[in-house]
């Protein structure tokens, strides 16, 4: 059947435009209830801090309750916390209202099953097939009930604190924490403070419209200035829904998801606890692959998207994988990407080894990599366009076997992602610009593929 609405990470779009409308959210809840819940069950609904979250929360609540499901409402809570609490409270379905790292004008909806894992493609297709059906409203005696769950934050805090080895805390660490004015703004500072860290918070004052606005993992410049400015040991930045994290060393240098994967993998290898290969994506820096090979650790690549990384981990028996963006899977700890768990893992390695983040990440040399996002009117497969394919061949020849070219349509935004990687920074930038121009030309209205 295929999926018209579900992308690589749920459903996402501009609020007020199809599909991010109240009517659609109501129909989606009813469809999900029909497919996943059948004759009833409990649904957990969490959200980030976008002002539009209130209306989508109300619409989803109405759709599920009308279909006979009980609903637990957590309010603002990181996506991985919703996954954990869905499993912890034995709910049959978890729902997150968030557009992750997007601007506040966007929003989205994604689902977790009773085990805290994202729904399969097949289930999402079945839900989409029910969207045209009139929303279900059961008789009064069969309606569900809805209530707030104020204990969710506390339960998740306890779970996160348990990630650190017994007897290890963060005393003596000064940490700047940037929560992107998003879902982690309450729970993340509390957890780090409870572990005896000295906290300097930024991006922790959401107003419904400032999520990801000049802060968080997609805009870490303020964090990079603040960490050395206040003489902190490290900085931590989450995205709007808390499933991604990047860090900043004491010198103000960004440490991205590839480098964090290396730090965690190197520590696990040294401890003898690493299982299976490390899984990255086609966008992961070649330097990660080289550094892991030097440690004797296998590295495999999956398509972009945490669901693909997870599938590859399960197929290969691995436990550690992730993306350059900081969406990291630690399957010995969680079922989904969790920015806070990842940060705590790295902080505990720093604490136990007595080494700074700069020292820990120095074992991986990043190769020059340029990623450009080319806006298009609609998504298309760039590799199927002859002019673009010819440009790729020219660039690959120029790189002389010491680089990579990746082209792909984003699963969450109307852009084509152009990535070029190689040994020489100037050559890489020139090649990326050339390829981006080829994509723009092909995407122009008079030449765009049908």
pLDDT digits (tens, 9 = 90+) for 182-233: 999 999 999 999 999 999 999 999 999 999 999 999 999 999 999 999 999 9
**The last residue of a domain, from among 343, 366, 389:** 366
Phi, psi torsion values for 199, nearest 5 degrees: -105, 135
**Would you call 3 helix, strand, or coil by DSSP?**
coil
Torsion-angle region of residue 273: left (phi > 0), alpha (psi -120 to 50) or beta? alpha
CATH number at residue 343: 3.40.120.10
Neighbours of 22 (CB within 10 A): 16
The verdict on 322 and 232 lying in the same domain is no
Phi, psi torsion values for 23, nearest 5 degrees: -60, -45
The verdict on 272 and 249 lying in the same domain is no
| Domain annotation covers residue 99 | yes
CB 262 within 8 A of CB 292: yes
Domain span including residue 236: 169-254
The verdict on 203 and 291 lying in the same domain is no
**The last residue of a domain, from among 310, 340, 366:** 366
Per the structure, the count of domains in the chain is 4
The verdict on 147 and 178 lying in the same domain is no
Token pair for 76: 């603002």
The verdict on 35 and 81 lying in the same domain is yes
Taking only the tens place, the pLDDT of each residue in 4-48 is 899 878 999 999 999 999 999 999 999 999 999 987 899 999 999
Q: Give the residue with greater pLDDT, 113 vs 408.
A: 113
The verdict on 72 and 91 lying in the same domain is yes
pLDDT value, residue 163: 84
| Domain annotation covers residue 448 | no
| Domain annotation covers residue 220 | yes
Contacts of 280 (CB under 8 A, 6+ apart): 258, 261, 288, 289, 299, 300, 301, 302, 309, 321, 322, 323, 324
Q: Angle at Cα 323 formed by Cα 349 and Cα 423, nearest 5°?
A: 95
pTM: 0.88
pLDDT at 107 over 70: yes
Q: Taking the CA of residue 261 as centre, how many other CA atoms within 13 Å lie in the half-sphere pointing to its CB?
A: 36
Peptide bond into 289 cis (omega under 30): no
The verdict on 22 and 102 lying in the same domain is yes
| Domain annotation covers residue 290 | yes
Q: Taking the CA of residue 194 as centre, how many other CA atoms within 13 Å lie in the half-sphere pointing to its CB?
A: 15
Catalytic amino acids?
100
The verdict on 42 and 126 lying in the same domain is yes
pLDDT at 444 over 90: no
Placement of tokens 């028996």 in the chain = 317
| Domain annotation covers residue 162 | no
The verdict on 116 and 180 lying in the same domain is no
pLDDT value, residue 40: 83
**The last residue of a domain, from among 213, 229, 254:** 254
The verdict on 15 and 146 lying in the same domain is yes
**Would you call 367 helix, strand, or coil by DSSP?**
coil
Q: Can you tell me the distance from the alpha carbon of 289 to that of 278, in angstroms, rounded to the nearest whole number?
A: 9
The verdict on 315 and 389 lying in the same domain is no
Mean pLDDT, rounded, of the chain: 93
| Domain annotation covers residue 2 | no
pLDDT at 141 over 60: yes
| Domain annotation covers residue 5 | no
Closest to 2 measured CA to CA, from 120, 128, 132, 131: 128
| Domain annotation covers residue 3 | no
The verdict on 244 and 279 lying in the same domain is no
CATH number at residue 416: 3.30.310.50
């Amino acid at each position: 059947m295929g999926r018209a609405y579900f992308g690589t990470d749920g459903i996402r779009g501009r609020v007020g435009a199809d599909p991010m409308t109240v009517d659609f959210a109501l129909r989606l809840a009813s469809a999900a209830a029909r497919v996943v819940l059948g004759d009833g069950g409990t649904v957990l609904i969490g959200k980030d801090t976008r002002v539009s979250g209130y209306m989508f929360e109300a619409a989803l609540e109405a759709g599920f309750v009308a279909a006979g499901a009980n609903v637990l409402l957590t309010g603002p809570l990181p996506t991985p916390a919703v996954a954990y609490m869905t499993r912890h409270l034995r709910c049959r379905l978890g729902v997150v209202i968030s557009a992750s790292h997007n601007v506040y004008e966007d929003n989205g909806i994604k689902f977790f099953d009773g085990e805290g894992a994202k729904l399969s493609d097949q289930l999402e297709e079945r839900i989409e097939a029910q969207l045209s059906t009139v929303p279900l409203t059961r008789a009064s005696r069969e309606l569900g009930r809805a209530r707030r769950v104020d204990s969710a934050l506390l339960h998740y805090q306890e779970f996160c604190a348990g990630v650190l080895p017994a007897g290890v805390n963060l005393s003596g660490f000064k940490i700047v924490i940037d929560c992107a004015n998003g879902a982690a703004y309450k729970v993340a500072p509390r957890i780090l403070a409870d572990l005896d860290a000295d906290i300097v918070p930024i991006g922790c004052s959401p107003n419904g419209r400032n999520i990801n606005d000049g802060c968080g993992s997609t805009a870490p410049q303020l964090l990079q200035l603040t960490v050395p400015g206040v003489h902190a040991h490290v900085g931590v930045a989450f995205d709007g829904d808390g499933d991604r994290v990047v860090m900043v060393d004491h010198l103000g240098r960004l440490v991205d998801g590839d480098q964090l994967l290396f730090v965690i993998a190197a520590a696990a290898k040294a401890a003898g606890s690493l299982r299976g290969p490390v899984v990255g994506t086609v966008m992961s820096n070649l330097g990660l692959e080289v550094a892991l090979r030097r440690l004797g650790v296998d590295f495999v690549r999956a398509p972009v998207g945490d669901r693909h990384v997870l599938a590859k981990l399960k197929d290969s028996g691995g436990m550690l994988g992730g993306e350059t963006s900081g969406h990291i899977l630690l399957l010995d700890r969680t079922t989904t990407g969790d920015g806070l768990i990842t940060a705590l893992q790295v902080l505990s390695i720093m604490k136990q080894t007595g080494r700074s983040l700069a020292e820990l990440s120095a074992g991986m040399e990043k190769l020059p990599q340029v990623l450009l996002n080319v806006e298009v009117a609609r998504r298309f497969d760039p590799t199927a366009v002859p002019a673009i394919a010819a440009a790729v061949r020219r660039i690959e020849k120029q790189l002389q076997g010491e680089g990579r070219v990746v082209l792909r349509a984003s699963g969450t935004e109307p852009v084509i992602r152009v990535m070029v990687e190689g040994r020489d920074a100037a050559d890489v930038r020139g090649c990326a610009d050339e390829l981006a121009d080829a994509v723009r030309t092909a995407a122009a209205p008079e030449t765009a593929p049908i």
